[in-house]
Every structure is written in structure tokens, then in C-alpha cells.
Structure 1
Amino acid sequence: MSVKPEATPAPFAGRFALATLSAPDGPAFPALVTADARVLDLRTAFGDERLTVRALLEDWDGAKERLSALADQGDPRSGPLADFRVHAPVEPRQVFQSGANYRQHVIDLHVAHRDPADDRPEEERRAEAAEIMDRRAAEDLPYVFIGLPSAITGPYDEVVLPSWAEKPDWELELAAVIGRPTHRVSVEEALDHVAGYTIANDLTDRATVFRRDMPQIGTDWLRSKNAPGFTPLGPWLVPASSVADPGDLRLVLKLNGETMQDESTKDMLFDIARVVSYASRTAELLPGDVVLTGSPAGNGMHHGRLLRDGDVMDGSITGLGAQRTRCVAEAAR
């Protein structure tokens, strides 16, 4: 099911954004959405019934000029956004997730996940974590792992909390969407390979992050982060040219109307260019791939309040709009 926002979806930066929409009982299609909430079916505009947002990103350098012209001319074939369902803006082939990338967030996690044998005062453990974070930012490398495209869902879809998830948590993130084949790109050139940005909520079951049966092998991201629907994405893919400074955007997540996360991307240890460049050292990033850049402080572990049936999450990022998702327990669905 889809959870409609309370009012017109929050506006985005620039004259237009890309989206994947569908009419009631109709197939999903790539759309150009204008700032005044009008929709143009890009299959018609481009004369290609098989067109997708990902296909547009395959030739992003050429497509963005044509899209800009379409936004400027006010195509009479456009219709009101309210008539359509909003899906995740793109179907990536690969999802790259950056962990431990917000300074204050990692400090909070360091304190929350302390070794039971560590009986030092919290203040001392926080100071130790802060020193580690500053050293990481100066000397170390980003921490990037792989997510599954099957975990992605729409920005207003219900999120099913699996029966086995004991501690489901939220993690609002800025997501970069790749617009060129990207392999071994330098930090200086990395942002030239980013087509645009969108919103992600990278849900995590804290109870399964670490393997209990084999603690020596460390984290289990497959189980803790990749249940179906655990990555609400969207609503819009906003072109990078419309985002003045992705290194200074405000992320806000509210749970049932109460603000839980409220931070700037300035708190990142590794900026977007460093994360994209690092991921490309090993993997080839493909057009349409999504790179999550980490989540700021204020998750459920910090507040001592994890997700449960009926919770509603509202996430927003400056210039990228807002998403709203309702949690539904698997047994109650």
C-alpha cells in the first residue's frame, strides 16, 4: 500500500525533477515533474514506450539538456501530480551504502554498542570515539558495503517490519545517483559522475547487525539491512545542477511528528566525492546506481525508541522534497 503525504509533496530545488509514477492500475513510467507539480510522461515526449529513468541516465549528458527544454516550454500534455502514484525514482542495478560516515552518529553508536566489559564512564568513551573519528576523517578511508536493489521501495509505501526484526531502526540518508559509468574516478572528478540526488531511509535491524553465532566474523549487513522495503527511496531525482551545495543540506526525520534526526551533511566524515571515488576504486558504478552516504545522529538506538507497528516516518532533505512511510508489523499486515 501507498501512504499519501498530508499535502502536496514538498517542493524540490530547480525547475524540474525526474520521477517514476503510475496512474491507478497503470504501469510505471518515467516522468518529468515541474516545480508547479505538473507531470509529463517522458515515454511520449521521447517517443519511446520502453523508456525508464535508468535509460535516461544511460545518456545523461544528452538527456538533461532535452529535459531542461521540456521543463521550460510547459508541454500542454502534462497533468497534475496528484493524479499519480509515486514510486522510487530509479531502479538501480547496484546499491552502495556508506556506513559510519557522520561524526556525531558514530560517536553515539560507539557509546550505545559498548562492550559489556567496558565499565568506563560514558564521557570517557565519547572522548575516545571523537578522537577516532577525527583521525578517520584525516587519515582513513570511507566504509562502503553493498545493498540489494530488492530492498528499495517507494517514498510513500508501507514498510513491513519482519517478524524476526527485534530492533528495527531508521537512518535518513542523502543518496547520490550515478549518471556515467564510473571506475577508478578521482575525488576531484567524482561529482561529475553524479546525475542527481534523492532521499533514502536505510532501515536497519540493530539486533542482527552483529552475528551472535560467530561474533568473530563481524557485521551481517545482508540480514540487518536488506529485507524487502527496507530502503524507501525518493520521491524525486533532483539534477545535481539544481543542488547548490550537497555538502550543506539539512536532513530531518520525524517519527509520529517528533523530530528524531536533524543534522547537516556538513557533519559527514567523508564527503560525497570521497565516497563515490572510493567505491569506484573496486567496483564499476553504473548509470542509475545509488550511493547512500550515511546517516546522521538521532537514530532509534540513540533515543531508546525503535520502530513498531503503526509508526509513521517523515523524512526530508533540503531541496529534495520529503517522503512519508508507515510501518506495518509483518503479522499485522
Structure 2
Amino acid sequence: MPDQLTHAGPFALGTFASGSGAFPGLVTGARVRDLSDQVPSVRALLDAWDTWLPRLHDLAGSADGTWHDLADLRVLAPLEPGQILQSGANYRKHVVDLVAAEKESVHGATPEEARADAERMMDERARDGVPYVFLGSPRAMCGPYDDIVLPRLGEQHDWELELALVIGRQGKDIAAEDAMEYVAAYTVCNDLTTRDRLYRPDLKAIGTDWFTAKNADTFLPTGPFLVPAAFVGDPNDLRITLRHNGVVRQDESTKDMIFDIPRLVAYVSTTTTLRPGDLLLTGSPAGNGAHWGVFLAPGDVLEAEITGLGRQRNTVRSHP
């Protein structure tokens, strides 16, 4: 198993596999306690999160139970989520870059004019606008060290590293000032996208095809762990870093989010009831492949990390 950053706090949660099958686990540094004598899955912990959190503290400090070396286990995606809610166009620099480039190429603005206009637009959006959110498929998920398998169709396969929050309490029409009470934990997601399948030339009036572009098998590496929110510190001040074949491509703070976590939670809960185990991805910062003019190819390696949440390492391969 590849090296990984130490998780924040005294413990984290995940799903692991050994010779005897998959099991929910309590991670403390380099060791994992098998929780299958307590619960059937990590999702079951989230269903009663307020009850389980203090019990997990006790289990982390006890020698009882079955313990494994983390290095001996396969690390799977940390949970099977309910909904996967994905926020698009939510990092200021990223969106400003996109808008400014369009104003230059399509409308003939100078670089200075284009950027100033894009900055004004983002100020207005942050003040008066609402997030842009769509649904993803849980079937796209894979583990943090699994291979990414490029689909048969499309050529511009791209990375989008994101902070994801895990819901730990049911809620609807949640007020922004109460939203953080519904966040149980955080994890790492890389929301891959096939750019040249994002727009349907046969259905231009309908617009983007999120299902096709984003939901190929293995296109959502998730984990390695769920780190309880209480251990993470300020989620609006975490570093998001992605390396493509050793080259840093994304390196940004979550401070750059246009809509912060409370506003995202409040917004999505006006439409859907949030339930324990739902994932909410908060958007990706500047530096994806489209920005660099570089896309994924077989043999590439992606290394991704977010402060205190661990590290992913995925090798890209072609479809069978």
C-alpha cells in the first residue's frame, strides 16, 4: 500500500479488506481495529453518529478487539453513500479563469478587462447567487489506491480534486447557521470528468451531460478515510494538492470557495432531505487538465491529498 499522510485527530474510519473479506475499521495511525464485532458497516455508524462518536473514542484507546497493521490491508472506499451531491464552479480563481478566458476569446476583451469583469461577476455571485449542484452515481466510486480505468469513449479525461463532507444527521431546510451540526466527517474525492463528453452536440438546448462525463466506473476515487469533523479544524482553511506524474497541478486553499460549507448544506437541503451517509462534494479548485492542456493517459499517476485527510495514489490504465 502506498505511503499516506497521517490522518488528523486520534482516529479515523474506513472500510478495509483482508483475506477474510471487507470490514469497517477504526484507524489509529498505522493500526486498524476491526469494527465488524460492533457494526456491519461505516454507514451504520453514521446512522447513529452522535451515539457512536464517544464510543469510538473508547475503542480507539482500548487493546480489546481484533487489530491489524494498516499496511497489510487493502483500503477500499470508506463508505457506501446514500446520495452523492456535487458542487460545480465553486472555486473563485478557477471560475474567474474560465470566465476571463471566454471573454477574451469570444468577446475580444483585453486580459485586464476580462479578468476585472470576471472578478466583478464572482463578487455578485457570492453575494446574491446560489450554488450549482448536481447528482453523481455511487457506482463511480473506487478506492483511494485503485486503478482509474479510462472509458472506451472520449479522450479528454480530467482530474478534479475535492473536499467532501459526510452527513451525520437527517435534515431538511437547514439554516446556514446550523449546518455544521449535520457534518459528521470529511474525506477526499477526485471527481474525474471526460471533458469531450460533457456537451451533447445533438442536444445543444439541453446543455451538459453530467451522467456520461462524470460517472464512468472508477471515476470517483474516494478516501482513504473518513476523518471526524471535530478533528479537522477549520474546513475553510485546508490545502488541496494534486500531482500528475509528479507535477503539482492543483494547489489551493478551501478559503477560495465561493459558497462555503454552511451555504452548500443549506442550499441542497432546500431540495432534498439530507440523511446520514450522504456525501456532498464542495467543488474543485483551479489547475485541472483543461487548464494545463494535459489530459490523462494510460500509465499516468495521480497523487492527491487534503490537509489531515490522507493521500490518494491512483494509476491510470486503459479500458479492457
Counterpart of 2:198 (choices 205, 209, 219) is: 209
Task: Tell me the residue number matched to 1:158.
Answer: 147
State the Cα deviation string for residues 135-178 of structure 1 (Å, max 9, x = none).
Answer: 11111111111111111111001111112122111000000001
Q: Residue 241 of structure 2 aligns to a residue in which SS?
A: strand
Taking the aligned partners of 1:18 and 1:171, their CA distance within structure 2 comes to: 23
Q: TM-score by structure 1 length? A: 0.93
What is the CA distance between 1:115 and its match in structure 2? 9.1
Instruction: Give the aligned partner of residue 21 of structure 2.
Output: 27
Task: Please show how residues 97-116 of structure 1 align to structure 2 within 5 Å.
Answer: 97-112=86-101
Confirm whether residue 43 of structure 1 aligns to residue 32 of structure 2. Answer: no
Alignment partners' CA distance in 2, 1:19 and 1:248: 23
Asked if the contact 2:103–2:109 (Cα under 8 Å) also holds between the matched residues in 1, the reply is: no
**TM-score relative to the length of structure 2:** 0.96
Structure 1 residue 76: Cα displacement: 5.9
Pick closer, same or farther for the CA change 1:211–1:114 going to 2, 3 Å: farther
Equivalent pair of 2:7/2:308 in contact (CA under 8 Å): yes
Q: Which residue of 2 aligns with 1:13?
A: 8
SS, match of residue 157 in structure 1: coil
Query: Structure 2: how far apart are the matches of 1:114 and 1:205?
Result: 24
Does residue 169 of structure 2 align to residue 169 of structure 1?
no
Consecutive unaligned residues in structure 2, runs of 5 or more: none
How much has 1:110 moved relative to structure 2?
2.5
Distance in 2, matches of 1:94 and 1:309, equals 30
Partners in 2 of 1:292 and 1:259 — Cα distance?
21
CA contact (8 A) 2:34 2:65 kept: no
Aligned to 1:199: 188
Whether the 8 Å CA contact 1:112–1:301 is kept in 2: the answer is no
Map of 1:53 onto structure 2: 42
2: CA distance between counterparts of 1:220 and 1:268? 24
Corresponding position: 1:124 with 2:113 = yes
Written as runs of structure 1 = structure 2, the 5 A alignment for 1:231-242 is: 231-242=220-231
1:328 matched residue in structure 2: 317
| 1:64 corresponds to 2:57 | no
Render the CA deviation track for 1:220-268: whole Å, top value 9, x for unaligned: 1111111111110000000001011001000000001110000000000
Amino acid at match of 1:34: T
Write out the 4+ residue segments of structure 1 that deviate beyond 4 Å after TM superposition. Answer: 111-117
Q: Which residue does the alignment assign to 2:280?
A: 291
What is the root-mean-square deviation in Å for CA atoms of aligned residues?
Answer: 1.5
Query: Is 1:13–1:242's contact at 8 Å kept on the other side of the alignment?
Result: yes
How far apart are the structure 2 equivalents of 1:93 and 1:113? 36
CA–CA distance in structure 2, aligned partners of residues 142 and 290 of structure 1? 16
One-letter amino acid matched to 1:298: G
**Number of residue pairs matched by the alignment:** 320
Residue 114 of structure 1: how far off its partner (Å)? 6.2
Q: C-alpha deviations, 1:62-98, integer Å up to 9, x for none?
A: 0111101111224363121111100010100210000
Q: State the secondary structure of the residue aligned to 1:69.
A: helix
Distance 1:123 1:300, change over 3 A: farther
State yes or no: 1:318 paired with 2:311: no
2: CA distance, partners of 1:148 / 1:328: 21
Establish whether residue 279 from structure 1 lines up as the match of residue 268 from structure 2.
yes
What percent identity do the matched residue pairs reach?
A: 52
| Alpha-carbon contact 2:104-2:114 (below 8 Å) kept | no
Aligned counterparts of 1:153 and 1:114: Cα–Cα separation in 2:
37
Q: Say which of 69, 74, 82 aligns to 1:85.
A: 74
Alpha-carbon distance in structure 1 between the residues aligned to 2:97 and 2:267:
25
